[in-house]
Structure 1
């Protein structure tokens, strides 16, 4: 291991804190991580935006059930029920040993803040949005995974790939089961508070067998009027968030906005059902390559069965529909079916299998909204965003292992 690498520094920090722990009994630092990989079969693979016919492929995949990571989190008791907290979390490619994103040591999470059981938590750094943090637990990815089970292309951001830079996040304590949260992320564009910024707000009710949450989020392009997604945009390490075969024609949007509501109900000790609805808008500006707002509506549901302490089974369905706009008479539609089976070998190690099928219909815009209307193509979950099907159908399955430490 490179002694100057991010993981070496993590170990040094964690080791120093462990040595100091006896003298600072009110403080703690924890080193943690996840490694996840397995075999993936995909019925058709091509490059995003390519018109070349794809072929089936068997490959090693990673980040399937859980994103690979290593991190440290810590806290200090400041008295009066208030604690200082921090998290530094780095993603990595298990198959190559490289960083998840080049030159970004803590791309998954990096924040510091204060928390109090009576007043809530305020943090600053690179973090998940309030929309995801409160609505996501009732979305499709808890048991279907984001790789296979996120709604087509993760159009509604109910998976974890959207993290925002330069963000302030406040989350309240739970009062009678109700929690509220808000996020604001500064874009850093001189002379403008809106360009490149993002914001989010969400409300969650969780009590007994019922959980319900609703949220909204908006990402603004730092390029005035839309166009190439500017480097000062706060979402997804400065890149345009959410590019897939579903949204490839709308990359030059001036803004993206999402509204979602999701719920979960425990039918019995072994059964749980969840459902979600989302409305997603890609909003053009004068610099965008498309002229009309592109709107996508998605409805999805997941049924989960805990067969015993070690075995979990789940099935999911979702349908995503675009509205008529930008010269498209037959708007795109994506129907997706998912199955998931997992077996816990221990409290930290899990074997699992996933299956997914998606069927696309209708039309969408070509790459970056260049004006060409093309047939919609399938792209299961968000694990195939850069390698979608070259046709209207796609089938995939995986067998893999995940270990936590």
Structure 2
């Protein structure tokens, strides 16, 4: 028995040795392919804080620290790997935070800003899957009013048209075409995930951008559907929905639709931009209002770099609602915004921001139809949680931003 046992390991060892040689040969054959595949992962982000003054916050002036005023405070990871034939795998994970408290921008969500994976090829285009920006924002929002003006003070009142950085969608699939003679188109669809109710909570967006020489123009469409929650806007809907006193009476909307266009033209060192958007709140069976509410936004921006170390920008926007839901004197807003930046280094920037807004007319309060209230000033994005108690509001900031 001992001899039989001693021979078995030798026999099995020879077989295993042959398998090891075959496996090693296979690894060696595949090794050149692995060696040629290039991949990289990048850590990036920004830390941004400002000392801010607001003339009227619920009836009182205030001095406070505001995180993410020129650029949102955030960190993220992005990666790319060559798959051969020009095809690449991509991913991006991004988290926002409040620099003054350390709290995450999105409660209980690590990567609330972005979380997607995809594949791209210069000939066939790009597919991405996950939580991502809408084409509406990426194309139209990139031309007006941002990035000439920061969204904190330069976004249209209350960011009512979602042309600032918060237009995202979860559970989304996006296809973006290759650029064809300066023209590129992107389309997104976000699945609502409600059993038996396929359209509930979904988001759809499409946009196109054309760039040629000194001209840069874009058009976009976005529709965010509520998740059939009566009297409010469901937090589980796939698309984001910014709320402020401007649209407080319409948060029970069945769906909100955005159509926008923007363009810029370079006159030497100066860029002039024009932008327009149309926001519509469409009622449903669970809505607290009965007529479609429409807000039209018109804007103009100008930006320049007088020196390699300085930047200047200014903008004006006019927002007006149409008569609906018993309102005969609809809300209207005039907003003036200014920005001055000084680049201390490639990554560090000192900045000043100023904005003034006048509000007139009436709108719906949070109770919906019948709850007609005076419009209050709500500068850019900052006024979403810090609205004035009256028809005017002035905001000024001095801040520092470091990108990495």
TM-score by length of 2: 0.90
1:2-48 per-position Cα deviation (integer Å, ceiling 9, x unaligned): xxxxxxxxxxxxxxxxxxxx9786010001110000101000112xx
Secondary structure of the equivalent of 2:140? Answer: helix
**Structure 2: how far apart are the matches of 1:370 and 1:329?**
13
Alignment of 1:1-400 (within 5 A): 26-46=38-58, 54-223=59-228, 227-236=231-240, 241-268=241-268, 270-369=269-368, 371-400=370-399
Give how far 1:326 is off. 0.5
Secondary structure of the equivalent of 1:235? Answer: coil
Give how far 1:371 is off. 2.2
8 Å contact kept, 2:329–2:361: yes
8 Å contact kept, 1:312–1:342: yes
**Structure 1: how far apart are the matches of 2:101 and 2:235?**
26
Secondary structure of the equivalent of 1:138? Answer: coil
**Structure 1: how far apart are the matches of 2:303 and 2:68?**
21
Which position in structure 2 is the counterpart of 1:7? none
Give how far 1:216 is off. 0.4
Give how far 1:59 is off. 0.3
Give how far 1:77 is off. 0.6
Give how far 1:227 is off. 2.9
Secondary structure of the equivalent of 1:131? Answer: helix
1:44-68 per-position Cα deviation (integer Å, ceiling 9, x unaligned): 112xxxxxxx100000001101111
Which position in structure 2 is the counterpart of 1:4? none
Distance 1:98 1:302, change over 3 A: same
Secondary structure of the equivalent of 2:384? Answer: coil
**Structure 2: how far apart are the matches of 1:327 and 1:305?**
44
**Structure 2: how far apart are the matches of 1:229 and 1:24?**
50
8 Å contact kept, 1:354–1:399: yes
Give how far 1:286 is off. 1.5
Secondary structure of the equivalent of 1:328? Answer: coil
**Structure 2: how far apart are the matches of 1:23 and 1:401?**
43
- Relative to structure 2, which stretch is displaced further, 364-373 or 348-357? 364-373
1:125-150 per-position Cα deviation (integer Å, ceiling 9, x unaligned): 00000111111111112121000000
8 Å contact kept, 1:189–1:232: no
TM-score by length of 1: 0.90
Give how far 1:352 is off. 0.4
Secondary structure of the equivalent of 2:383? Answer: coil
**Structure 2: how far apart are the matches of 1:259 and 1:323?**
16
Task: Report runs of 4+ in structure 1 exceeding 3 Å deviation.
Answer: 22-25
Secondary structure of the equivalent of 1:367? Answer: coil
Which position in structure 2 is the counterpart of 1:17? none
Larger radius of gyration: 2
Secondary structure of the equivalent of 2:193? Answer: coil
Secondary structure of the equivalent of 1:369? Answer: coil
**Structure 2: how far apart are the matches of 1:290 and 1:214?**
29
**Structure 2: how far apart are the matches of 1:384 and 1:375?**
16
Distance 1:153 1:93, change over 3 A: same
**Structure 2: how far apart are the matches of 1:298 and 1:183?**
24
What's the Cα RMSD here? 1.3
Secondary structure of the equivalent of 2:95? Answer: strand
Which position in structure 1 is the counterpart of 2:6? none
8 Å contact kept, 2:254–2:284: yes
Secondary structure of the equivalent of 1:144? Answer: coil
Question: Alignment length, in residue pairs?
Answer: 371
